[in-house]
Amino acid sequence: MPEKPEVITVVNTLRKKLIGRTLEKVDVYWENIISYPSVKAFKKKISKQTIHEITCRGKWILFSLDTDYLLIHLRMEGKFFFRHHETRDKHEHVVFTLDQEEQLRYHDTRKFGKMLLIEKAKLETMDPIASLGYEYYDERLTPSYLKERLKKKSLPIKTVLLDQSIIAGIGNIYDDEILFLSHIHPLKKANTLTNKNLKEIIENTKITMEKAIKLGGTTIKSYESAEGVHGKFQNELLVHTKKECPVCNHKIEKIKVNGRGTYYCPKCQK
């Protein structure tokens, strides 16, 4: 959390206020958030660059600047607040000073988020972008593509769908929903899935993601995509965090799959 729909919601929120604005400077109060380059180089290089576009790739937010891309991964609790002269909160670890004396503050209770500044020409050849799999809407995401990628993977499909190098953007919540719609047990070995299974996974990934994006993502526990922005997809969840199957009324089971809380219906997902 957040997953692809939440990241898109953040992007859409930030676009409204940031396109065309200049990053006058940046102050970093928790240096581990800056993964590349050094904190000193990061602060120097980003200064005075203009924000031309904001997009995303997988769960990464991409700020297109003059000469570089600013990449941001929110991880578990990352979010953005717009501020002026208010006292900095102890959880606001990176502060971008904009024109008009406004600030974009990165707030992260757990300090798990990451930021990188990468030259535009190197974006597609460097990690993290270079190692990402296809987006849910990519025409190249086909049953044959998945068949090839999964043929040596005997891990549970629940775990494999979280692998960002195969399909970018799926997280724990949408993983459960996709498998439920596809009638696939989360512990089924990935390399035993049929072409029909793979086709259903692709179709239900698109359905789930597009519906979640339309509803602004999912707000669960303490997460919100941006200040005052809450998703509504949690009202549409079928199995994740639920007690009873909406199809057969059987009790929803919760298990751990490689340490991730997993919800499924034992009757619909045999």
How confident is the model over 102-155, as pLDDT tens digits?
999 999 999 999 999 999 999 999 999 999 999 999 999 999 999 999 999 999
Q: How far is Cα 245 from Cα 257, in angstroms, rounded to an integer?
A: 20
Query: Of 73, 43, 33, 78, which is closest to residue 56 (Cα–Cα)?
Result: 73
Residue 3: what pLDDT? 83
Q: Which residue has the higher pLDDT, 219 or 23?
A: 23
Q: Is the pLDDT of residue 216 over 90?
A: no
Helix axes 172-181, 195-214, angle to 10 degrees: 130
Q: Is the pLDDT of residue 201 over 60?
A: yes
**Catalytic annotation on 105?**
no
**Catalytic annotation on 59?**
yes
φ, ψ for residue 31, nearest 5 deg: -65, -25
Its pTM stands at 0.90
Catalytic residue among 2, 5, 128, 186: 2
Residue 226: what pLDDT? 53
Q: Is the pLDDT of residue 208 over 60?
A: yes
Query: Of 130, 218, 110, 224, which is closest to residue 170 (Cα–Cα)?
Result: 218
**Catalytic annotation on 90?**
no
* Cα 155 → chain centroid: 22
Q: Is the pLDDT of residue 220 over 50?
A: no
35, 127 contact by CB (below 8 A): no
Portions of the chain given CATH number 3.20.190.10: 4-131
Catalytic residue among 59, 79, 114, 158: 59
- Provide the residue count of the chain: 270
Catalytic residue among 3, 6, 77, 224: 3
pLDDT mean over 6-18:
91
Residue 178, both tokens: 């996709």
The CATH code belonging to domain 4-131 is 3.20.190.10
Residue 224: what pLDDT? 45
Q: How far is Cα 64 from Cα 46, in angstroms, rounded to an integer?
A: 11
Query: ∠ CA 131-133-137 to the nearest 5 degrees?
Result: 145
Q: Is the pLDDT of residue 221 over 50?
A: no
Question: Count of alpha carbons within 13 Å of 83, Cβ hemisphere only?
Answer: 16
**Catalytic annotation on 2?**
yes
In CATH, which of 2.60.40.10, 3.40.50.2020, 1.10.8.50, 3.40.640.10 is domain 143-264?
A: 1.10.8.50
How confident is the model over 230-243, as pLDDT tens digits?
555 666 799 999 99
> How high is the mean pLDDT of the chain?
92
φ, ψ for residue 194, nearest 5 deg: -85, 170
Identity (one letter) of the amino acid at 158?
K
How confident is the model over 20-47, as pLDDT tens digits?
999 999 999 999 999 999 999 999 999 9
pLDDT mean over 188-192:
98
218, 234 contact by CB (below 8 A): yes
Q: Is the pLDDT of residue 18 over 50?
A: yes
Band of the pLDDT at 189, cuts 50, 70, 90?
very high
Catalytic residue among 153, 260, 266, 267: 260
Q: Is the pLDDT of residue 195 over 70?
A: yes
Portions of the chain given CATH number 1.10.8.50: 143-264
Query: Of 99, 73, 84, which is closest to residue 7 (Cα–Cα)?
Result: 73
